[in-house]
Structure 1
Amino acid sequence: MKGFINKIQHYSTKDGPGIRSTVFMVGCNLRCLWCCNPESMLPGYKLMYHSVKCQRCLSCAQAFPEAVTMSEQGCVINREKADFDRLTDICPFDAYEKMGEWIEAEELVSRLLRYREFYEGSRGGVTFSGGECLLQNEFVGECMDLLHENGIEVCIDTAGNLPWDQIKGVLGRCDTVLFDLKAFDDDLHQRLTSVSNKLILENLSRLDQLGKELYIRMIIVPGLNDDINDLKARVDRVRGLQSLRQIDFLKYHKLGVGKYRELGLRYPLENIREVSEELLAEIREYAGDIVTTVGG
Protein backbone atom coordinates (compact mmCIF):
# COMPACT_ATOMS: atom_id res chain seq x y z
CA MET A 1 0.00 0.00 0.00
CA LYS A 2 1.14 3.53 -0.76
CA GLY A 3 0.88 6.58 1.44
CA PHE A 4 1.43 10.28 0.73
CA ILE A 5 4.07 11.85 2.96
CA ASN A 6 5.64 15.27 3.20
CA LYS A 7 8.97 14.38 4.79
CA ILE A 8 10.77 12.33 7.42
CA GLN A 9 12.52 14.15 10.25
CA HIS A 10 15.16 12.08 12.01
CA TYR A 11 16.71 12.55 15.47
CA SER A 12 13.57 14.18 16.86
CA THR A 13 13.31 14.50 20.64
CA LYS A 14 9.99 16.39 20.78
CA ASP A 15 7.58 13.90 19.22
CA GLY A 16 7.37 11.21 21.86
CA PRO A 17 9.78 9.35 24.14
CA GLY A 18 13.44 8.99 23.25
CA ILE A 19 15.06 9.69 19.90
CA ARG A 20 12.60 9.30 17.06
CA SER A 21 12.02 9.59 13.36
CA THR A 22 8.86 11.58 12.65
CA VAL A 23 6.93 10.85 9.47
CA PHE A 24 4.87 13.86 8.41
CA MET A 25 1.83 12.64 6.49
CA VAL A 26 0.03 14.96 4.07
CA GLY A 27 -3.54 16.08 4.70
CA CYS A 28 -5.48 17.47 7.65
CA ASN A 29 -9.17 17.96 8.47
CA LEU A 30 -8.49 20.91 10.76
CA ARG A 31 -7.46 24.41 9.70
CA CYS A 32 -5.65 25.76 12.75
CA LEU A 33 -4.84 29.43 12.32
CA TRP A 34 -1.33 28.94 13.71
CA CYS A 35 -0.41 25.80 11.76
CA CYS A 36 3.38 25.64 11.34
CA ASN A 37 3.28 22.86 8.74
CA PRO A 38 1.10 24.16 5.89
CA GLU A 39 2.94 21.89 3.46
CA SER A 40 1.59 18.93 5.45
CA MET A 41 -1.83 20.41 6.19
CA LEU A 42 -2.89 21.09 2.59
CA PRO A 43 -3.56 18.21 0.18
CA GLY A 44 -1.52 17.36 -2.89
CA TYR A 45 1.96 18.26 -4.06
CA LYS A 46 3.32 21.67 -3.14
CA LEU A 47 5.99 23.86 -4.67
CA MET A 48 8.17 25.85 -2.29
CA TYR A 49 10.19 28.78 -3.58
CA HIS A 50 13.24 29.58 -1.46
CA SER A 51 13.90 33.19 -2.39
CA VAL A 52 17.15 33.29 -0.40
CA LYS A 53 18.63 30.74 -2.80
CA CYS A 54 17.36 32.47 -5.94
CA GLN A 55 20.10 34.30 -7.89
CA ARG A 56 17.64 35.99 -10.32
CA CYS A 57 19.28 34.13 -13.22
CA LEU A 58 15.95 34.03 -15.11
CA SER A 59 16.37 30.38 -16.11
CA CYS A 60 12.89 29.51 -14.88
CA ALA A 61 11.18 32.62 -16.23
CA GLN A 62 12.70 32.14 -19.67
CA ALA A 63 11.82 28.44 -19.81
CA PHE A 64 8.29 28.83 -18.41
CA PRO A 65 7.10 32.39 -19.06
CA GLU A 66 3.48 31.35 -18.60
CA ALA A 67 4.19 30.22 -15.02
CA VAL A 68 7.02 32.44 -13.74
CA THR A 69 7.66 36.17 -13.88
CA MET A 70 10.35 38.18 -12.13
CA SER A 71 9.87 41.01 -9.63
CA GLU A 72 12.18 42.95 -7.35
CA GLN A 73 11.44 40.44 -4.60
CA GLY A 74 12.20 37.44 -6.80
CA CYS A 75 10.09 35.02 -8.80
CA VAL A 76 6.32 35.28 -8.93
CA ILE A 77 4.87 31.84 -9.58
CA ASN A 78 1.51 30.84 -10.99
CA ARG A 79 1.31 27.41 -9.38
CA GLU A 80 -1.77 26.46 -11.39
CA LYS A 81 0.32 26.64 -14.56
CA ALA A 82 3.66 25.53 -13.15
CA ASP A 83 5.23 22.13 -13.78
CA PHE A 84 6.72 21.45 -10.35
CA ASP A 85 9.15 18.77 -11.52
CA ARG A 86 10.53 20.76 -14.43
CA LEU A 87 10.91 23.93 -12.38
CA THR A 88 12.79 22.01 -9.71
CA ASP A 89 15.08 20.47 -12.32
CA ILE A 90 15.86 23.64 -14.25
CA CYS A 91 16.95 25.84 -11.34
CA PRO A 92 20.74 25.60 -10.89
CA PHE A 93 20.53 27.05 -7.37
CA ASP A 94 17.86 24.74 -5.90
CA ALA A 95 15.48 27.60 -5.26
CA TYR A 96 12.50 25.37 -6.02
CA GLU A 97 11.49 22.38 -3.93
CA LYS A 98 8.63 20.02 -4.71
CA MET A 99 7.00 18.73 -1.55
CA GLY A 100 5.12 15.44 -1.30
CA GLU A 101 5.95 11.82 -2.05
CA TRP A 102 3.93 8.69 -2.68
CA ILE A 103 5.74 5.81 -1.02
CA GLU A 104 5.13 2.11 -0.42
CA ALA A 105 4.87 1.04 3.21
CA GLU A 106 7.78 -1.39 2.80
CA GLU A 107 10.02 1.33 1.36
CA LEU A 108 9.18 3.78 4.13
CA VAL A 109 9.86 1.20 6.82
CA SER A 110 13.14 0.28 5.12
CA ARG A 111 14.26 3.91 5.35
CA LEU A 112 13.22 4.14 8.99
CA LEU A 113 15.02 0.97 10.03
CA ARG A 114 18.34 2.52 9.06
CA TYR A 115 18.08 4.53 12.29
CA ARG A 116 17.05 1.70 14.60
CA GLU A 117 20.19 1.94 16.74
CA PHE A 118 19.12 5.44 17.79
CA TYR A 119 15.62 4.22 18.66
CA GLU A 120 16.83 1.20 20.61
CA GLY A 121 19.40 3.14 22.60
CA SER A 122 16.93 5.74 23.84
CA ARG A 123 13.57 3.94 24.13
CA GLY A 124 12.61 5.87 21.05
CA GLY A 125 10.95 4.82 17.84
CA VAL A 126 8.87 6.22 15.01
CA THR A 127 6.15 8.87 15.26
CA PHE A 128 3.49 9.38 12.60
CA SER A 129 2.40 13.00 12.51
CA GLY A 130 1.06 15.44 9.95
CA GLY A 131 -1.18 17.03 9.07
CA GLU A 132 -3.45 14.41 10.52
CA CYS A 133 -1.77 11.06 10.05
CA LEU A 134 -4.95 9.07 10.76
CA LEU A 135 -6.53 10.33 7.55
CA GLN A 136 -4.28 7.66 6.03
CA ASN A 137 -4.96 5.16 8.81
CA GLU A 138 -4.66 2.01 6.69
CA PHE A 139 -1.22 2.99 5.43
CA VAL A 140 -0.08 4.03 8.90
CA GLY A 141 -1.38 0.75 10.28
CA GLU A 142 0.54 -1.29 7.71
CA CYS A 143 3.75 0.62 8.46
CA MET A 144 3.19 0.19 12.18
CA ASP A 145 2.77 -3.56 11.88
CA LEU A 146 6.01 -3.81 9.89
CA LEU A 147 7.84 -1.68 12.45
CA HIS A 148 6.52 -3.79 15.32
CA GLU A 149 7.77 -6.91 13.54
CA ASN A 150 11.21 -5.32 13.79
CA GLY A 151 10.84 -4.37 17.44
CA ILE A 152 10.32 -0.63 16.84
CA GLU A 153 7.83 1.28 19.00
CA VAL A 154 5.30 3.51 17.24
CA CYS A 155 3.73 6.76 18.40
CA ILE A 156 0.67 8.40 16.82
CA ASP A 157 0.33 12.20 16.89
CA THR A 158 -3.32 13.08 16.30
CA ALA A 159 -6.05 15.64 16.88
CA GLY A 160 -8.57 12.79 17.10
CA ASN A 161 -11.12 14.34 14.75
CA LEU A 162 -12.19 11.20 12.89
CA PRO A 163 -14.95 8.62 13.40
CA TRP A 164 -13.83 6.17 16.08
CA ASP A 165 -14.50 3.14 13.89
CA GLN A 166 -11.92 4.44 11.40
CA ILE A 167 -9.12 4.98 13.89
CA LYS A 168 -9.59 2.57 16.79
CA GLY A 169 -7.71 -0.21 15.01
CA VAL A 170 -4.55 1.84 14.58
CA LEU A 171 -4.77 3.44 18.01
CA GLY A 172 -5.33 0.05 19.56
CA ARG A 173 -2.08 -1.28 18.11
CA CYS A 174 0.26 1.67 18.67
CA ASP A 175 2.45 2.12 21.75
CA THR A 176 2.08 5.83 22.53
CA VAL A 177 -0.34 8.61 21.56
CA LEU A 178 0.26 12.35 21.40
CA PHE A 179 -3.20 13.92 21.54
CA ASP A 180 -3.79 17.60 20.78
CA LEU A 181 -6.29 19.68 22.76
CA LYS A 182 -6.39 23.12 21.18
CA ALA A 183 -9.34 24.59 23.13
CA PHE A 184 -12.03 23.33 25.50
CA ASP A 185 -14.82 25.75 24.61
CA ASP A 186 -16.47 24.41 21.47
CA ASP A 187 -17.26 27.79 19.91
CA LEU A 188 -13.67 28.87 20.43
CA HIS A 189 -12.40 25.60 18.98
CA GLN A 190 -14.50 26.11 15.87
CA ARG A 191 -13.22 29.66 15.39
CA LEU A 192 -9.61 28.57 15.72
CA THR A 193 -9.63 25.28 13.81
CA SER A 194 -12.82 25.35 11.68
CA VAL A 195 -14.22 22.23 13.40
CA SER A 196 -16.11 21.33 16.57
CA ASN A 197 -14.26 19.53 19.34
CA LYS A 198 -17.18 17.32 20.37
CA LEU A 199 -15.94 14.27 18.47
CA ILE A 200 -12.38 14.98 19.62
CA LEU A 201 -13.38 14.92 23.29
CA GLU A 202 -15.49 11.81 22.79
CA ASN A 203 -12.57 10.04 21.14
CA LEU A 204 -10.27 11.08 23.96
CA SER A 205 -12.48 9.18 26.41
CA ARG A 206 -12.53 6.15 24.13
CA LEU A 207 -8.77 6.33 23.70
CA ASP A 208 -8.23 6.31 27.46
CA GLN A 209 -9.98 2.95 27.64
CA LEU A 210 -7.35 1.42 25.33
CA GLY A 211 -4.67 1.89 27.97
CA LYS A 212 -2.07 3.45 25.69
CA GLU A 213 0.65 5.71 27.03
CA LEU A 214 -0.97 9.11 26.52
CA TYR A 215 0.66 12.52 26.20
CA ILE A 216 -1.68 15.51 25.96
CA ARG A 217 -0.45 18.49 23.96
CA MET A 218 -1.91 21.93 24.60
CA ILE A 219 -0.68 24.71 22.36
CA ILE A 220 -0.95 28.21 23.81
CA VAL A 221 -1.40 31.07 21.34
CA PRO A 222 -1.55 34.50 23.02
CA GLY A 223 -4.75 36.34 22.26
CA LEU A 224 -6.43 33.25 20.82
CA ASN A 225 -6.56 30.34 23.26
CA ASP A 226 -4.58 31.55 26.26
CA ASP A 227 -7.55 32.35 28.48
CA ILE A 228 -6.67 30.83 31.84
CA ASN A 229 -10.18 29.49 32.36
CA ASP A 230 -10.10 27.57 29.09
CA LEU A 231 -6.64 26.24 29.90
CA LYS A 232 -7.85 25.09 33.31
CA ALA A 233 -10.87 23.44 31.67
CA ARG A 234 -8.53 21.53 29.37
CA VAL A 235 -6.45 20.38 32.31
CA ASP A 236 -9.58 19.35 34.22
CA ARG A 237 -10.78 17.38 31.21
CA VAL A 238 -7.68 15.18 31.17
CA ARG A 239 -6.93 15.10 34.89
CA GLY A 240 -8.77 11.84 35.51
CA LEU A 241 -7.52 9.93 32.46
CA GLN A 242 -6.02 6.62 33.53
CA SER A 243 -3.55 6.54 30.63
CA LEU A 244 -2.24 10.08 31.07
CA ARG A 245 1.54 10.31 31.35
CA GLN A 246 2.05 14.05 31.02
CA ILE A 247 0.77 17.32 29.59
CA ASP A 248 3.00 19.21 27.18
CA PHE A 249 2.25 22.94 27.06
CA LEU A 250 3.46 24.17 23.69
CA LYS A 251 4.30 27.84 23.29
CA TYR A 252 3.28 29.45 20.01
CA HIS A 253 6.21 30.09 17.69
CA LYS A 254 6.67 31.66 14.27
CA LEU A 255 8.85 29.00 12.67
CA GLY A 256 6.18 28.27 10.09
CA VAL A 257 5.74 31.85 8.86
CA GLY A 258 8.45 31.52 6.21
CA LYS A 259 6.84 28.35 4.84
CA TYR A 260 3.67 30.24 3.98
CA ARG A 261 5.70 32.78 2.06
CA GLU A 262 7.60 30.02 0.24
CA LEU A 263 4.29 28.39 -0.70
CA GLY A 264 2.84 31.67 -1.95
CA LEU A 265 0.30 31.78 0.87
CA ARG A 266 -0.70 34.48 3.35
CA TYR A 267 0.03 33.70 6.98
CA PRO A 268 -3.27 34.24 8.84
CA LEU A 269 -1.87 35.61 12.12
CA GLU A 270 -0.13 38.89 12.85
CA ASN A 271 1.46 40.53 15.88
CA ILE A 272 1.20 37.56 18.23
CA ARG A 273 3.07 38.27 21.44
CA GLU A 274 5.15 35.80 23.44
CA VAL A 275 3.47 33.44 25.89
CA SER A 276 3.89 34.90 29.36
CA GLU A 277 5.96 32.97 31.86
CA GLU A 278 3.43 33.93 34.54
CA LEU A 279 0.65 32.17 32.62
CA LEU A 280 2.77 29.06 32.18
CA ALA A 281 3.63 29.01 35.87
CA GLU A 282 -0.02 29.41 36.86
CA ILE A 283 -1.34 26.62 34.65
CA ARG A 284 1.47 24.25 35.62
CA GLU A 285 0.74 24.90 39.28
CA TYR A 286 -2.95 24.25 38.59
CA ALA A 287 -2.06 20.90 37.03
CA GLY A 288 -0.80 19.82 40.43
CA ASP A 289 0.62 16.30 40.48
CA ILE A 290 0.32 15.85 36.71
CA VAL A 291 3.72 15.78 35.03
CA THR A 292 4.00 18.82 32.76
CA THR A 293 6.56 20.15 30.31
CA VAL A 294 6.89 23.36 28.34
CA GLY A 295 7.99 23.29 24.71
CA GLY A 296 7.23 24.87 21.39
Structure 2
Amino acid sequence: MIRVHSYESLGTYDGPGIRLVVFLQGCNFRCLYCANPDTIDAKGESKETAPEEILKMAVSQKPFFGKKGGITFSGGEPTFQAKALVPLFRMLKEAGIHICIDTNGGIWNEDVKELLSLADLVLLDVKEFNDERHKALTSRSNAQTLKTAAWLEENQKPFWLRYVLVQKYSYFKEDIEALGEHFKDYRMIERVEILPYHTLGVHKYEAMKMDYQLKDVQLNTQAQLDEAKELFEKYFRTVYIN
Protein backbone atom coordinates (compact mmCIF):
# COMPACT_ATOMS: atom_id res chain seq x y z
CA MET A 1 0.00 0.00 0.00
CA ILE A 2 1.09 3.56 -0.74
CA ARG A 3 0.52 6.45 1.65
CA VAL A 4 -1.02 9.24 -0.45
CA HIS A 5 -1.53 12.71 0.98
CA SER A 6 -3.43 14.28 -1.93
CA TYR A 7 -3.78 14.62 -5.70
CA GLU A 8 -3.74 17.44 -8.23
CA SER A 9 -5.29 16.89 -11.64
CA LEU A 10 -4.31 18.93 -14.71
CA GLY A 11 -1.07 20.12 -13.05
CA THR A 12 1.28 22.18 -15.21
CA TYR A 13 4.17 23.01 -12.84
CA ASP A 14 5.63 19.59 -12.04
CA GLY A 15 7.09 18.24 -15.25
CA PRO A 16 6.27 18.56 -18.96
CA GLY A 17 2.74 18.93 -20.26
CA ILE A 18 -0.45 18.35 -18.28
CA ARG A 19 0.01 15.96 -15.37
CA LEU A 20 -1.67 14.09 -12.58
CA VAL A 21 0.39 14.99 -9.50
CA VAL A 22 0.40 12.54 -6.59
CA PHE A 23 1.59 14.01 -3.30
CA LEU A 24 3.01 11.27 -1.11
CA GLN A 25 3.43 11.16 2.65
CA GLY A 26 6.77 11.20 4.49
CA CYS A 27 9.99 13.16 4.03
CA ASN A 28 13.60 12.85 5.22
CA PHE A 29 14.32 16.59 4.91
CA ARG A 30 13.12 19.36 7.21
CA CYS A 31 13.18 22.36 4.87
CA LEU A 32 12.47 25.60 6.69
CA TYR A 33 10.24 26.85 3.87
CA CYS A 34 8.39 23.58 3.27
CA ALA A 35 5.02 24.38 1.66
CA ASN A 36 3.59 20.97 2.63
CA PRO A 37 4.53 20.48 6.31
CA ASP A 38 1.55 18.14 6.63
CA THR A 39 3.37 15.64 4.37
CA ILE A 40 6.58 15.39 6.46
CA ASP A 41 5.41 12.87 9.05
CA ALA A 42 5.58 9.27 7.81
CA LYS A 43 1.90 8.70 8.49
CA GLY A 44 0.17 12.05 8.96
CA GLU A 45 -3.40 12.16 7.70
CA SER A 46 -2.56 10.22 4.57
CA LYS A 47 -4.68 7.47 3.08
CA GLU A 48 -3.29 4.00 2.43
CA THR A 49 -3.91 3.47 -1.25
CA ALA A 50 -3.55 0.41 -3.46
CA PRO A 51 -1.22 0.89 -6.47
CA GLU A 52 -4.05 -0.25 -8.74
CA GLU A 53 -6.19 2.68 -7.59
CA ILE A 54 -3.54 5.20 -8.63
CA LEU A 55 -3.00 3.35 -11.92
CA LYS A 56 -6.75 3.48 -12.64
CA MET A 57 -6.80 7.24 -11.97
CA ALA A 58 -3.80 7.83 -14.26
CA VAL A 59 -5.27 5.74 -17.08
CA SER A 60 -8.60 7.59 -16.80
CA GLN A 61 -6.80 10.93 -17.16
CA LYS A 62 -4.50 9.76 -19.96
CA PRO A 63 -6.59 11.48 -22.70
CA PHE A 64 -5.76 14.85 -21.09
CA PHE A 65 -2.01 14.22 -20.98
CA GLY A 66 -1.40 14.68 -24.70
CA LYS A 67 2.06 13.89 -26.05
CA LYS A 68 4.08 15.43 -23.21
CA GLY A 69 2.02 14.90 -20.05
CA GLY A 70 1.79 12.05 -17.57
CA ILE A 71 2.00 11.40 -13.85
CA THR A 72 4.30 13.10 -11.35
CA PHE A 73 5.07 11.83 -7.86
CA SER A 74 5.85 14.60 -5.39
CA GLY A 75 5.45 15.01 -1.68
CA GLY A 76 6.77 14.83 0.85
CA GLU A 77 9.58 12.78 -0.62
CA PRO A 78 8.54 10.00 -3.04
CA THR A 79 11.68 7.90 -2.49
CA PHE A 80 10.63 7.65 1.18
CA GLN A 81 8.16 5.01 -0.12
CA ALA A 82 10.33 3.63 -2.93
CA LYS A 83 9.70 -0.05 -2.17
CA ALA A 84 5.92 0.36 -2.39
CA LEU A 85 6.16 2.51 -5.52
CA VAL A 86 8.26 0.16 -7.67
CA PRO A 87 5.35 -2.18 -8.62
CA LEU A 88 3.17 0.84 -9.47
CA PHE A 89 5.90 2.32 -11.67
CA ARG A 90 6.10 -0.97 -13.57
CA MET A 91 2.33 -0.95 -14.14
CA LEU A 92 2.41 2.67 -15.29
CA LYS A 93 5.19 1.84 -17.77
CA GLU A 94 3.10 -1.02 -19.17
CA ALA A 95 0.17 1.40 -19.56
CA GLY A 96 2.39 3.78 -21.57
CA ILE A 97 2.18 6.63 -19.07
CA HIS A 98 5.09 9.07 -18.74
CA ILE A 99 6.43 8.97 -15.16
CA CYS A 100 8.09 11.89 -13.44
CA ILE A 101 9.47 11.87 -9.90
CA ASP A 102 10.20 15.03 -7.91
CA THR A 103 12.91 14.20 -5.37
CA ASN A 104 15.46 15.80 -3.07
CA GLY A 105 17.83 12.96 -3.97
CA GLY A 106 18.71 12.44 -0.32
CA ILE A 107 17.71 8.78 0.08
CA TRP A 108 19.63 5.95 -1.55
CA ASN A 109 19.09 2.19 -1.56
CA GLU A 110 18.34 -0.55 -4.11
CA ASP A 111 14.63 0.33 -4.21
CA VAL A 112 15.39 4.00 -4.92
CA LYS A 113 17.82 2.98 -7.66
CA GLU A 114 15.14 0.83 -9.30
CA LEU A 115 12.53 3.57 -8.91
CA LEU A 116 14.73 6.15 -10.63
CA SER A 117 15.58 3.63 -13.35
CA LEU A 118 11.86 3.19 -14.11
CA ALA A 119 11.09 6.93 -14.13
CA ASP A 120 11.14 8.74 -17.48
CA LEU A 121 12.20 12.05 -15.95
CA VAL A 122 13.57 13.11 -12.57
CA LEU A 123 13.00 16.57 -11.08
CA LEU A 124 16.02 16.89 -8.77
CA ASP A 125 15.70 19.53 -6.06
CA VAL A 126 19.10 20.90 -5.10
CA LYS A 127 18.27 23.08 -2.11
CA GLU A 128 21.73 24.64 -1.72
CA PHE A 129 25.19 23.81 -3.06
CA ASN A 130 27.13 24.88 0.04
CA ASP A 131 26.74 21.95 2.42
CA GLU A 132 26.73 23.99 5.63
CA ARG A 133 24.02 26.28 4.28
CA HIS A 134 22.17 23.21 3.01
CA LYS A 135 22.19 21.78 6.54
CA ALA A 136 20.93 25.08 7.97
CA LEU A 137 18.08 25.05 5.45
CA THR A 138 17.10 21.36 5.51
CA SER A 139 18.76 19.82 8.62
CA ARG A 140 20.49 17.37 6.26
CA SER A 141 23.68 17.21 4.18
CA ASN A 142 23.51 17.57 0.38
CA ALA A 143 26.17 14.86 -0.15
CA GLN A 144 23.70 12.17 -1.24
CA THR A 145 21.80 14.61 -3.46
CA LEU A 146 25.00 15.30 -5.40
CA LYS A 147 25.75 11.56 -5.59
CA THR A 148 22.23 10.96 -6.92
CA ALA A 149 22.81 13.62 -9.60
CA ALA A 150 26.06 11.89 -10.57
CA TRP A 151 24.21 8.54 -10.81
CA LEU A 152 21.55 10.09 -13.07
CA GLU A 153 24.28 11.46 -15.33
CA GLU A 154 26.22 8.19 -15.45
CA ASN A 155 23.08 6.18 -16.20
CA GLN A 156 21.85 8.61 -18.86
CA LYS A 157 18.66 9.42 -16.99
CA PRO A 158 17.22 12.82 -18.04
CA PHE A 159 16.59 15.24 -15.20
CA TRP A 160 15.64 18.80 -14.43
CA LEU A 161 17.58 20.72 -11.82
CA ARG A 162 15.31 22.70 -9.49
CA TYR A 163 16.49 25.44 -7.15
CA VAL A 164 14.30 27.32 -4.67
CA LEU A 165 15.52 30.90 -4.40
CA VAL A 166 15.32 32.11 -0.79
CA GLN A 167 16.90 35.36 0.33
CA LYS A 168 19.48 34.87 3.12
CA TYR A 169 19.28 31.08 2.75
CA SER A 170 19.95 30.01 -0.85
CA TYR A 171 20.43 33.26 -2.74
CA PHE A 172 24.21 33.60 -2.67
CA LYS A 173 26.02 34.43 -5.89
CA GLU A 174 29.08 32.35 -4.96
CA ASP A 175 26.93 29.27 -4.21
CA ILE A 176 24.99 29.51 -7.48
CA GLU A 177 28.28 29.88 -9.36
CA ALA A 178 29.76 26.89 -7.51
CA LEU A 179 26.67 24.87 -8.44
CA GLY A 180 27.03 25.99 -12.05
CA GLU A 181 30.69 24.97 -12.17
CA HIS A 182 29.83 21.57 -10.68
CA PHE A 183 27.00 20.77 -13.11
CA LYS A 184 27.93 22.72 -16.25
CA ASP A 185 29.20 19.66 -18.17
CA TYR A 186 26.28 17.38 -17.27
CA ARG A 187 24.56 16.26 -20.47
CA MET A 188 21.47 14.79 -18.79
CA ILE A 189 20.24 18.10 -17.35
CA GLU A 190 17.45 19.07 -19.74
CA ARG A 191 16.54 22.30 -18.01
CA VAL A 192 17.08 24.33 -14.86
CA GLU A 193 14.07 25.68 -12.97
CA ILE A 194 14.31 28.56 -10.53
CA LEU A 195 11.45 28.27 -8.05
CA PRO A 196 10.70 31.62 -6.37
CA TYR A 197 10.27 31.44 -2.60
CA HIS A 198 6.61 31.75 -1.58
CA THR A 199 4.56 31.65 1.61
CA LEU A 200 1.53 29.76 0.30
CA GLY A 201 1.93 27.04 2.93
CA VAL A 202 2.16 29.32 5.97
CA HIS A 203 -1.51 28.80 6.89
CA LYS A 204 -0.77 25.08 7.30
CA TYR A 205 1.79 25.85 10.02
CA GLU A 206 -0.83 27.91 11.85
CA ALA A 207 -3.40 25.11 11.55
CA MET A 208 -0.84 22.55 12.81
CA LYS A 209 0.27 24.92 15.62
CA MET A 210 3.81 24.89 14.24
CA ASP A 211 6.17 27.86 14.23
CA TYR A 212 7.02 29.09 10.73
CA GLN A 213 10.68 30.06 10.97
CA LEU A 214 11.03 32.25 7.87
CA LYS A 215 8.51 34.94 8.84
CA ASP A 216 11.04 37.71 8.18
CA VAL A 217 12.17 36.47 4.76
CA GLN A 218 10.98 38.65 1.89
CA LEU A 219 9.63 37.35 -1.41
CA ASN A 220 11.95 37.71 -4.40
CA THR A 221 11.55 40.84 -6.50
CA GLN A 222 11.40 40.44 -10.26
CA ALA A 223 14.84 42.09 -10.47
CA GLN A 224 16.29 39.47 -8.11
CA LEU A 225 14.74 36.64 -10.12
CA ASP A 226 16.12 38.09 -13.34
CA GLU A 227 19.56 38.45 -11.74
CA ALA A 228 19.51 34.83 -10.57
CA LYS A 229 18.40 33.68 -14.02
CA GLU A 230 21.37 35.48 -15.57
CA LEU A 231 23.69 33.77 -13.09
CA PHE A 232 22.37 30.32 -14.01
CA GLU A 233 22.48 31.14 -17.72
CA LYS A 234 26.25 31.50 -17.50
CA TYR A 235 26.34 27.72 -17.06
CA PHE A 236 23.11 26.31 -18.51
CA ARG A 237 21.29 26.90 -21.80
CA THR A 238 17.71 26.28 -20.69
CA VAL A 239 16.85 28.21 -17.52
CA TYR A 240 13.27 28.99 -16.51
CA ILE A 241 11.59 30.80 -13.64
CA ASN A 242 8.76 28.46 -12.64
Q: Report the TM-score, using the length of structure 1 for normalisation.
A: 0.78
Aligned residue number for residue 113 of structure 1: 59
Residue 294 (1) aligns with residue 238 (2): no
Question: Which one of the candidate residues 165, 185, 188 is aligned to 1:240?
Answer: 185
Gaps of 5+ in 2: none
Q: Does 1:27 align with 2:26?
A: yes
Moved more, 144-153 or 164-173: 164-173
1:152 to 97, 117, 138: 97
- 2:47 matched to 1:101? yes
Separation in structure 2 between the aligned mates of residue 122 and residue 219 of structure 1, nearest angstrom: 28
| Count of paired positions | 240
Once the two structures are overlaid, the 10-residue window that deviates more, 276-285 or 109-118, is 276-285
- Structure 1: distance between partners of 2:196 and 2:228: 13
Query: What is the aligned-residue identity percentage?
Result: 31
Bigger radius of gyration among the two: 1
**Paired position in structure 2 for 1:92:** none
Cα displacement (A) at 1:125: 0.3
Shift of residue 122, structure 1, vs aligned partner = 4.3
> Which amino acid is 1:294 matched to?
I
1:21 alignment partner AA? L
Provide the residue aligned with 1:274 in structure 2: 219
Shift of 1:164: 4.5
Give the unaligned 5+ runs of structure 1. Answer: 46-98
Q: Counterpart of 2:163?
A: 218
Q: Distance in 2 between matches of 1:172 and 1:195?
A: 24
8 Å CA contact retained: 1:239, 1:290: no
Partner of 2:71: 126
1:285 CA drift (Å)? 2.2
Aligned with 2:133 (options 188, 191, 197): 188
Instruction: Give the corresponding residue for 1:3.
Output: 2
8 Å CA contact 1:4–1:26 kept in 2: the answer is yes
Please show how residues 42-81 of structure 1 align to structure 2 within 5 Å.
Answer: 42-45=41-44
Match for 2:15: what amino acid?
G
Aligned Cα root-mean-square deviation (Å): 1.4
* Matched residue type, 1:39: D
TM-aligned CA deviation for residue 210 of structure 1 = 1.9
CA deviation vs aligned residue, 1:89-117 (integer Å, no higher than 9, x gap): xxxxxxxxxx3100111112112221110
- Measured in 1, the distance between the counterparts of 2:14 and 2:59 equals 18
Checking the alignment, whether the CA contact within 8 Å between 1:246 and 1:291 is kept in structure 2 is: yes
Deviation at 1:29, TM superposition (A): 0.4
Matched, 1:228 2:173: yes
Q: Distance in 2 between matches of 1:166 and 1:139?
A: 9
Counterpart residue number, 1:249: 194
The answer to whether the Cα contact below 8 Å between 1:160 and 1:200 also exists between their aligned partners in 2 is yes
The aligned counterpart of 1:65 is: none
State the partner residue of 1:55.
none
1:16 aligned residue: 15
Aligned to 1:68: none
Task: Report the TM-score when normalising by structure 2.
Answer: 0.94
